Amino acid sequence: KDSSIGTINYTVDESGNVTTKKLNNLSGTTLKTESITYNKINQPATLTDWKGKVSKFLFNENGMISRVYSGIDSGSIIANYSYDTGNRLTEVRNQTNTGQMLSSFLYTFDQI
């Protein structure tokens, strides 16, 4: 609780995952709400932010995040994540839903 703003209330599911976060003003009125859904193995599946923008999260067979759809609409941005055989991040590519590349980041690791 912040006496100058109000409170943030969290709701959790039976697995202990935060499913909603509500920002309330001092009089208790909810100002903003975010919600998160989870998949069968408790990884985040969707996030709906306080503006109503939905992001969707996909994971690879090793449980690593592989793709994030930010805003499931005509203006969405897709982030693709690539990993090496040791599950170390090697690349992040951000593109529009029409395939236009916005940015790309490559990661390398020193040999031990």
What would the pLDDT profile of 32-49 be if each residue is shown by its tens digit? Answer: 999 999 999 999 999 999
pLDDT in tens, the chain (112 residues): 555 678 999 999 999 999 999 999 998 899 999 999 999 999 999 999 999 999 999 999 999 999 999 986 666 889 999 999 999 999 999 999 888 999 999 999 887 7
Nearest to 30 by CA among 52, 9, 51: 9
| Rounded Cα–Cα distance for residues 40 and 50 (Å) | 25
In the chain, domain spans:
53-112
* Element containing residue 79 per DSSP (H, E): strand 77-83
What tokens does 94 get? 């951000």
